[in-house]
Amino acid sequence: MVTRCKEARTPPAARTIRCGFCGGSFAEDRGQPACRGCPLGSGCGSIRCPACGYENTAAPAWLDTLVARASRWRRKLMHVRGGS
Amino acid sequence: MTPRTIVPVDASPDGSETIRRGSSASGSCHSPGKPTRLQEANAVRVVLAGAPNVGKSALFNRLTASYATVSNYPGTSVELTAGIGTYGEQTLHVLDSPGIYSLLPSTEEERVTQRLLLGGEYDVVVHVADAKNLSRALPLTLQLCELGRPLVLAVNMIDEAERLGVRIDYARLSERLGVPVVPVAAIDGRGVDTLRAAIATARGSSRPPLPVYENGVGEIVEAARRRIGGRYPVDATAVLTLAMQDDAEARALLDGAGDAYAVDVPEGLTQQLGGPPVYRFAYERKRAADALLAGVVDGMRAPSAWTERLGRLLARPLTGFPILLLVLYVGLYKFVGEFGAGTVVDWIEGTVFEEHINPAMEELFAPLANAALRELFVGEFGLLTLGLRYAVAIILPLVGTFFLFFSVLEDSGYFPRLALLVDRGFKRIGLSGRAVIPMVLGFACGTMATMVTRTLETRRERVMATMLLALAVPCSAQLGVIVAILAVSPAALLVWAAVMTGSFLLVGLLGARLLPGDAASFHMELPPLRLPRLSNVAVKTYTRMHWYFREVLPLFLLASALLWAGDQTGALPVVIAGLAPVVALLGLPAEAATVFLFGFFRRDYGAAGLFDLQQTGLLDVTQLTVAAVTLTLFVPCIAQFLMMLRERGAATAFGMLAFITPFAFGVGFLLHLLLRGIGW
């Protein structure tokens, strides 16, 4: 019988967050989620910078994607205008 | 004090050793097992050093695969992890040291690393640096060069740096530094074998070249070097530069070697160097690091000259405080107070709610026969006419404008400069500049800020910061509403700000006297100042507003429902009647008692009530000022209090509450007497 290995799914790369206080960059999964232990429960989406402890606002993924697409369109538009 | 030795890998000084991993079977360099006798004879003692959170532990795990032990450094509670790895016929005895930003320690952990490094009982130092923040790491590399021991620079997290588009010319950096530079990604093991080879080769290699410092610093170190005659476990340069920065450990080493005379007293050095030695050395090291990195790192923007100049102006007291006042005036008074409260709230509340939503809701609920049920939705404490209106028409526009202002400051890199600016003042009240982080966050959300106080170094600092957050740091919504209310009179706003600052300092100074201990020192590498990016600011503002609204709306609706229930059962008028004499002492009308009752639920709910009361024209400027002061100093919201309980324990949290409540009303009462007394 031929067995076929299931292709392992690579998890998506963690976003890089630039700390709003110390300016250091860290992968989202290396920051400590601030929600643990907060009486308000989850929802604020803050990510604590592992270097300085500042609570950074982590935008929802869809918003990040939207902003990235918008900036790509802007660059393309500028490129088209510059080229014409 | 404590002997300067590396903790043995297979024995613990205090018996607290724990085995972290079992041995592996293979003896290859990829999966090292128990070392052979030949390997033991070729043992290389390695110390991993570097700033916190640069992946030292991940790299340690990659380099070692067996016999890892955790034990306390002799005489301290600081844990050290030691492990064994192999490279060919060589054994690597690897020690993971506590994170340091510089060889000049400010915590017990950093002191342990300093002792390890100055002790010299190792063959190779591996400096683990973050590839994304190389310019911050290099000053420490230069200090490690001063030790005069074989050094390897492991540039870690290259995976993340590559994702950010950062490119590093490792060969050029290695050539300039005179030490091997190895790119590594500890997370996936990339470059670890090369690092093992570099460590094995570095053992017994020539010492790294000493860094060249300019502006007289290098000459003074060189002159001191010529004066000394004692022997040291490491190159005397490291000991001398630390002693010049008044480090007790280094001065003791010089004393022990009979070379104490080689280094001038701190005052003399300050005069010779043209500034405090700590700052002069840090500055020269940064300059040297920047020069080494010129043309080495690509893909990261270098700060321009004008941003550097502006950055310095922001952090210096003489210029920094006037700029801070200007920032607060424009951002808070003009933007949040006048634009947010004046224009946006007026439109949403006055036009959208008063003219459209409220009439529509009243019409919708008019057929409801049960008057009490109708009141629940559109009455005085109605879910729609009070809860929803407060949340949407008053609080949301105010926090929106405040968060926009906050995000601009955050994205520009202003906050770390603010930390430096207030560091000296904070030390007087037992805090360090690091406490700026929870204080700044407190202006967004006191609950989150209280949780962040756990990152402060000492218990004293944590208690002080929690207390000051609960007492004198208003949250975003409260600040927005208070600025909006007092925007009618700049003098009233000034009085409010003066009372808040005064209370902050008074309680801080008292706390510093009552709680024994030294103020923690604060070191921070400043990120470059930059123009805020519109997309960043918009995303941050939206995310914060979204979170805040989701949090606040259910609570506002719940508070409205509770007030409605109290009104219907007759309990509310009794409570308000009970509070009336207290508010009368503050010179406020009986209606203000409701506002304080609102404040028990949430400070922002109370502030919104005050805003509502001001709109009716029931309060004059003095009464508004007194009410705003009392409400700001008043007990924190329920969520913040729960966090205080969790972080500081019941005794401390209730103790703070017992102090804050009479203090708030006491200050309000005295302010009322004072303002009326001077005929305001």
Residue B519: the pLDDT is 61
B166 touches chain A (CB under 8 A): no
CA distance B437 to chain A (A): 6
Q: Which residues pair with B79 in a beta bridge?
A: B72
Residue B304 has pLDDT above 80, yes or no: no
Chain B interface mutation, best of A18, A25, A69, highest count of B Cβ atoms under 10 Å = A25
Among residues B35, B91, B42, B94, the alpha carbon closest in space to that of B68 is found at: B94
B453 touches chain A (CB under 8 A): no
The answer to whether B448 contacts A59, with C-beta atoms less than 8 Å apart, is no
State how far Cα B111 lies from the chain centre: 21
Q: How many helices (H) and strands (E) does chain B have?
A: 30, 10
The answer to whether B452 contacts A53, with C-beta atoms less than 8 Å apart, is yes
The answer to whether B437 contacts A54, with C-beta atoms less than 8 Å apart, is yes
* Six-digit token string for B286: 């940064």
Which residues are CB-contacts of B168 (< 8 A; sequence separation ≥ 6)? B131, B134, B155, B158, B161, B183, B296, B297, B298
Residue of B nearest to A41 (CA): B551
CA distance B526 to chain A (A): 7
B646 touches chain A (CB under 8 A): yes
Q: What is the pLDDT of residues B40-98, one digit of tens each?
A: 667 899 999 998 778 887 888 888 865 556 666 666 657 788 888 888 888 899 998 88
Q: In what order do the strands lie in the sheet with A55-57?
A: A32-33, A46-48, A55-57
Largest CA distance in chain A: 61
The answer to whether A51 contacts B53, with C-beta atoms less than 8 Å apart, is yes
Task: Categorize the per-residue pLDDT at B5 as very low, low, confident or very high, splitting at 50, 70 and 90.
Answer: very low
Residue B467 has pLDDT above 90, yes or no: yes
Write out the H or E segment, with its range, that includes residue B550: helix B534-569
Beta strands in B268-406 (DSSP E): 297-298
Answer yes or no: are the C-beta atoms of B211 and B103 closer than 8 Å: no
B553 touches chain A (CB under 8 A): no
The DSSP string of B238-276 is: HHHHHHHTT-HHHHHHHHHTT-GGGS--HHHHHHHHTS-
Residue B531 has pLDDT above 80, yes or no: yes
Burial class (CB within 10 angstroms; exposed 0-12, middle 13-18, buried 19+) of B516 = exposed
Q: What is the pLDDT of residues B407-452, one digit of tens each?
A: 999 989 898 888 888 887 888 887 877 788 888 888 877 887 888 8
Residue A35: the pLDDT is 62
CA distance A1 to chain B (A): 33
The answer to whether A51 contacts B544, with C-beta atoms less than 8 Å apart, is no
Residue of A nearest to B641 (CA): A39
Residue B30: the pLDDT is 40
Q: Point out the residue among A16, A22, A67 whose CB comes nearest to the CB of B163.
A: A16
Residue B7 has pLDDT above 50, yes or no: no
The answer to whether A22 contacts B524, with C-beta atoms less than 8 Å apart, is yes
Q: Point out the residue among B136, B164, B547 whose CB comes nearest to the CB of A45.
A: B547
Cβ under 8 Å to A: B residues 233-292 = none
Stated pTM of the model: 0.64
Residue B4: the pLDDT is 30
Task: Categorize the per-residue pLDDT at B198 as very low, low, confident or very high, splitting at 50, 70 and 90.
Answer: very high
Residue of B nearest to A52 (CA): B455
Q: Point out the residue among A16, A21, A63 whose CB comes nearest to the CB of B542.
A: A63
Q: Which residues pair with B71 in a beta bridge?
A: B80
Q: What are residue B215's phi and psi, to 5 degrees?
A: 55, 40
The residue-averaged pLDDT of B557-567 equals 88
The answer to whether A22 contacts B525, with C-beta atoms less than 8 Å apart, is yes
Task: Categorize the per-residue pLDDT at A10 as very low, low, confident or very high, splitting at 50, 70 and 90.
Answer: very low
The answer to whether B642 contacts A21, with C-beta atoms less than 8 Å apart, is no
The DSSP string of A25-80 is: EEEGGGSEETTTT-TT-S-S-EEE-TTT--EEE---HHHHHHHHHHHHHHHHHHHH
Answer yes or no: are the C-beta atoms of B628 and B664 closer than 8 Å: no
Residues of B in contact with A70 (CB under 8 A): 535
Which of the given ranges, B256-270, B291-305, B348-362, has the highest pLDDT on average? B348-362
The answer to whether B642 contacts A22, with C-beta atoms less than 8 Å apart, is no
Residue of B nearest to A44 (CA): B547
Residue of B nearest to A36 (CA): B451
Residues of A in contact with B524 (CB under 8 A): 22, 52
Structure ipTM: 0.79
The answer to whether A22 contacts B413, with C-beta atoms less than 8 Å apart, is no
Number of neighbouring beta carbons within 10 Å of residue B197: 16
CA distance B597 to chain A (A): 21
Residue B170 has pLDDT above 90, yes or no: yes
Q: What is the pLDDT of residues B308-352, one digit of tens each?
A: 788 889 988 899 999 999 998 898 888 888 888 778 888 888 888
The answer to whether B540 contacts A59, with C-beta atoms less than 8 Å apart, is yes
Answer yes or no: are the C-beta atoms of B91 and B33 closer than 8 Å: no
Q: Point out the residue among B160, B410, B551 whose CB comes nearest to the CB of A25.
A: B160
Q: Which residues pair with B18 in a beta bridge?
A: B70
Residue B22: the pLDDT is 36
User: What share of chain B in percent tops pLDDT 90?
Assistant: 22
Burial class (CB within 10 angstroms; exposed 0-12, middle 13-18, buried 19+) of B286 = middle
* Six-digit token string for B608: 């919104």
State how far Cα B162 lies from the chain centre: 27
The answer to whether A24 contacts B447, with C-beta atoms less than 8 Å apart, is no
B162 touches chain A (CB under 8 A): no
Q: Point out the residue among B448, B543, B646 whose CB comes nearest to the CB of A34.
A: B448
State how far Cα B366 lies from the chain centre: 53
Q: Point out the residue among A27, A37, A40 whose CB comes nearest to the CB of B160.
A: A27
B156 touches chain A (CB under 8 A): no
pLDDT top residue among B214 and B193: B193
Residues of B in contact with A45 (CB under 8 A): 543, 547
- What CA–CA distances, in Å, run from A13 to A9, B424, B615? 12, 42, 52
The residue-averaged pLDDT of B531-548 equals 88
Q: What is the pLDDT of residues B477-514, one digit of tens each?
A: 788 888 888 887 888 989 999 999 999 999 988 888 88
Chain A interface mutation, best of B53, B456, B644, highest count of A Cβ atoms under 10 Å = B53
The DSSP string of B134-174 is: HHHHHHHHHHHHHTTS-EEEEEE-HHHHHHTT-EE-HHHHH
Chain B interface mutation, best of A32, A35, A46, A73, highest count of B Cβ atoms under 10 Å = A46
State how far Cα B159 lies from the chain centre: 26
User: What share of chain B in percent tops pLDDT 70?
Assistant: 90
The answer to whether B527 contacts A34, with C-beta atoms less than 8 Å apart, is no
B410 touches chain A (CB under 8 A): yes
pLDDT top residue among B12 and B651: B651
B168 touches chain A (CB under 8 A): no
Q: What is the pLDDT of residues B133-169, one digit of tens each?
A: 888 899 999 999 999 999 999 999 888 788 778 889 9
Q: What's the start-to-end Cα distance of chain B, in Å?
A: 62
Answer yes or no: are the C-beta atoms of B125 and B118 closer than 8 Å: no
The residue-averaged pLDDT of B404-408 equals 92
Q: How far apart are CA B65 and CA B287, in angstroms?
A: 39
Angle at alpha carbon of residue B256, lines to B255 and B262, rounded to 5°:
35
Q: Are strands B151-156 and A16-18 parallel, antiparallel or unpaired?
A: unpaired
The residue-averaged pLDDT of B637-662 equals 88
Task: Categorize the per-residue pLDDT at B625 as very low, low, confident or very high, splitting at 50, 70 and 90.
Answer: very high
Q: What is the pLDDT of residues B15-46, one digit of tens each?
A: 333 334 433 333 333 444 455 555 566 789 99
Indicate the residue type of A52: C
